[in-house]
């Protein structure tokens, strides 16, 4: 998919989100890309994953897996659930740039996806089946090693609609029938802030037209 769709939906003069333009990538992302390229030579790829809690017109959780230099992304309205019996709708959306994984801030209300974003979880994901074949065939099986999300998970596409997938906890030692992870651990793992605090925080990175992103601290 690449980043063209991602870029076409956004005006980077107005939103503080990363543009995904490699010439503007912070060195950290470039370093990381190099590291994961080495990992990708293994039989099954691994990379970073993140889940961003996004208070857009409807609150949802953006579930992202790094693959082939971008973040494959699904919007999960109810967020992940540790109960293997619970299947959470995950709408496949456009690829996002790697830099997006640590984006936390406020997208202006008038812009695409307007609302506050926090990094709800991050870590690494480890494919247990070939994810490139899986993306086409509609089934991904992988292990997550995050702060909140751990163990084996699967993403399965609903055949009738190419955009709709289900995110399901696999039966393993990490599965839990009653832990409501999105309620018990609601806040950012990088700033410990709640999404409500980020939405109101005057110090959150914000964008003023034609001036560029600015931290007003």
Residues that bind Mn ion (CB under 5 A): 54, 62
CB neighbour burial string for 155-168, b if at least 16 within 10 angstroms, e if fewer: bbbeeeeeeebbbb
From the list 198, 209, 11, 28, the residue with the least C-alpha distance to 105 is 198
Give least dist CB 139 to Mn ion, A: 23
- Residue 34 Ramachandran class (φ > 0 left, ψ -120 to 50 alpha, else beta): alpha
Give least dist CB 59 to Mn ion, A: 9
By C-beta, is 62 or 99 nearer to Mn ion?
A: 62
By C-beta, is 91 or 141 nearer to Mn ion?
A: 91
Number of neighbouring beta carbons within 10 Å of residue 207: 21
Give least dist CB 23 to Mn ion, A: 25
Q: How far apart are CA 3 and CA 96, in angstroms?
A: 6
Give least dist CB 85 to Mn ion, A: 26
Q: Which residues, 6 or more positions from 25, have their beta carbon under 8 angstroms from its beta carbon? A: 18, 97, 98, 99
By C-beta, is 82 or 103 nearer to Mn ion?
A: 103
Give least dist CB 41 to Mn ion, A: 32
Give least dist CB 201 to Mn ion, A: 19
By C-beta, is 54 or 193 nearer to Mn ion?
A: 54
Residue nearest Mn ion, CB atom distance = 54
The residue assigned the tokens 């769709």 is: 5
Query: CA 181 → CA 79, 126, 150, distances in Å?
Result: 9, 21, 11
Q: Which residues, 6 or more positions from 59, have their beta carbon under 8 angstroms from its beta carbon? A: 53, 77, 195
By C-beta, is 64 or 127 nearer to Mn ion?
A: 64
By C-beta, is 56 or 128 nearer to Mn ion?
A: 56
Q: How far apart are CA 50 and CA 6, in angstroms?
A: 17
């Amino acid at each position: 998919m690449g980043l063209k769709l991602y870029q076409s939906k956004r005006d980077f003069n107005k939103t503080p989100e990363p543009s995904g333009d490699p010439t503007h990538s912070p060195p950290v992302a470039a370093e990381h890309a190099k590291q994961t390229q080495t990992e990708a030579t293994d039989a099954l790829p691994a990379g970073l994953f993140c889940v961003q809690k996004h208070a857009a017109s409807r609150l949802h959780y953006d579930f992202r897996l790094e693959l082939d230099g971008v973040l494959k992304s699904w919007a999960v309205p109810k967020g992940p659930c540790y109960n293997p019996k619970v299947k959470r709708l995950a709408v496949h959306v456009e690829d996002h740039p790697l830099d997006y994984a640590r984006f936390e801030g406020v997208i202006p209300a008038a812009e695409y996806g307007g609302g506050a974003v926090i990094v709800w979880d991050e870590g690494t994901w480890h494919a247990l089946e070939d994810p490139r074949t899986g993306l086409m065939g509609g089934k991904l099986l992988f292990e997550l090693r995050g702060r909140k999300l751990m163990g084996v998970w699967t993403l399965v596409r609903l055949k009738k609609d190419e955009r709709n997938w289900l995110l399901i906890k696999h039966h393993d030692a990490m599965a839990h029938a009653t832990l409501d992870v999105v309620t018990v651990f609601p806040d950012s793992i990088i700033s410990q802030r709640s999404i409500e605090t980020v939405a109101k925080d005057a110090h959150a990175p914000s964008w003023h037209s034609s001036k560029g992103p600015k931290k007003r601290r």
